[in-house]
Structure 1
Amino acid sequence: MFRIFKISNEYNMIKHLFIICSSLFLIFISTGCSSSVDNSIKFKNFASGDIYINFRGELISVASGKTVEIKDVTKGTYNYSTTYEVPANTQSSSVQGDVSGNIIIKAGTKILIVYSSTFVDGTYTIYATISSSDDQTNTTGVVTP
C-alpha cells in the first residue's frame, strides 16, 4: 500500500510537469512569431519635378512634394533605380547620392529615401539620401548609376 501511494505521487508530478512544460511551449510559440510584416519603404519627393522609382518590377510615381509608402515588404535584398523629370530650359542634368542601389530589408526595417533638387545656370541636379531604422553598417549598398 505504501508503494502504490509513492507511484501515484510520481505519476501526478510527471503529469503536472508535462502540463507546465506544454503551456510554456505554447506561450512561446504564440508570442514569439508575428504574423504581420512591419517593414516599409517611404519615398519623399522634395525635388521640383516628379520622380519615378523602378522597384520590385513596378514603376512607382511620386509627384513633387508628395510621399509614397510601400508597406509589408518582405525580408530580402531589393534593387531600385530612379528616373526623374527635368524642368523646361534645362541644358544638362546630373544626379548625386542614393538615386539607385540595393536595399536590404530585415525584420522591422523602415527605409526612407528623400529626393531634392537644384537648378543652377541651366543645370538640374537631383539628390537622394537614404536612411534606415537598422544599423547603417552593411544595410544598404549603393550601385553607381
Structure 2
Amino acid sequence: MKQKILFLLLVILSISLLSCSDGPINKITFQNLAAGDVLINFKGSQIEVISQSTAVLQDIDKGEYEYETIFSIPFGATEFGSEGDISGTFIVKAGTKIIVTYTSVFSDGKYTIYASVTNSNDLTEGILPDPLGN
C-alpha cells in the first residue's frame, strides 16, 4: 500500500515539474547592415551594434519601451539623413520577437540610414469580428 501511495506521489510530482516553465521569452534583435555603427538608447542604457553585426536582448519584461538610435557617419560623407523607424516604441507582450534592421546608402557624398522594425505581435488583437462577415 505504501508503494502505491509513493508511486502516485511521484507521478503527481513529475507531472507538476514538467508543467513548470519560464513562459514565453521576449526577444529584441538589432541587426546592423549599415555602413556605420549604431547606438541604441533602450531602457536607460546604450547598446552598441557595430557595422555588419547583430545584438540580441532577451528576457525583456512585458510593457511599452521607447528607443532612440544614434548613428555614425562614414568618412567622406558631406550630408546625412535618416528614414524609417530610427526611433519609436516597442510593445512587448508574452512571446514577442522584434527585429530592427538598419541599412544604408552612400551616394554622391550623402549617407542615408534606414531602419525597419517588424514584430511577432498579432495586429488583429482587440479588433471585434464583423458579425456580417464583411
TM-score range relative to shorter protein: 0.7 to 0.9
Q: What is the CA-CA distance between 1:136 and the residue it aligns to?
A: 3.8
Q: What is the CA-CA distance between 1:89 and the residue it aligns to?
A: 1.8
Please list the CA deviations of residues 30-61 of structure 1 after superposition, one character each: whole Å capped at 9, or x if unmatched: 84x74345001000000001100000011100
1:114 and 2:101 correspond = yes
Please list the CA deviations of residues 94-138 of structure 1 after superposition, one character each: whole Å capped at 9, or x if unmatched: 100001000000000000000000011111000000010112469
Q: 1:136 to 1:123 in 2, by over 3 A?
A: farther
TM-score normalised over the length of structure 2: 0.76
Which residue number in structure 2 is paired with residue 97 of structure 1?
A: 84
User: What SS is found at the alignment partner of 1:88?
Assistant: coil
Which residue number in structure 2 is paired with residue 13 of structure 1?
A: none
Which segments of 5 or more consecutive residues in structure 1 lack a partner in the other structure? 1-22, 139-145
Q: Which has the larger radius of gyration?
A: 1
Which segments of 5 or more consecutive residues in structure 2 lack a partner in the other structure? 1-11, 126-134
Contact 1:37–1:74 (8 Å) recurs in 2: no
Q: 1:79 aligns with which of 55, 66, 71?
A: 66
Q: 1:67 to 1:137 in 2, by over 3 A?
A: farther
Instruction: Count how many residue pairs are aligned between Structure 1 and Structure 2.
Output: 111
Which residue number in structure 1 is paired with residue 37 of structure 2?
A: 50
Amino acid corresponding to residue 97 of structure 1 in structure 2: G
Structure 1 vs Structure 2: percent identity of aligned residues? Answer: 43
1:65 and 2:62 correspond = no
TM-score normalised over the length of structure 1: 0.70
CA distance in 2: counterparts of 1:75 and 1:60, whole angstroms? 19
CA distance in 1: counterparts of 2:64 and 2:104, whole angstroms? 27
Structure with more of its chain in helix, by fraction: 1
C-alpha RMSD over aligned residues: 2.0
Q: 1:137 to 1:131 in 2, by over 3 A?
A: farther
Q: 1:135 to 1:37 in 2, by over 3 A?
A: closer
List structure 1 runs of 4+ shifted beyond 6 angstroms: none
Q: Which moved more, 1:105-114 or 1:87-96?
A: 87-96
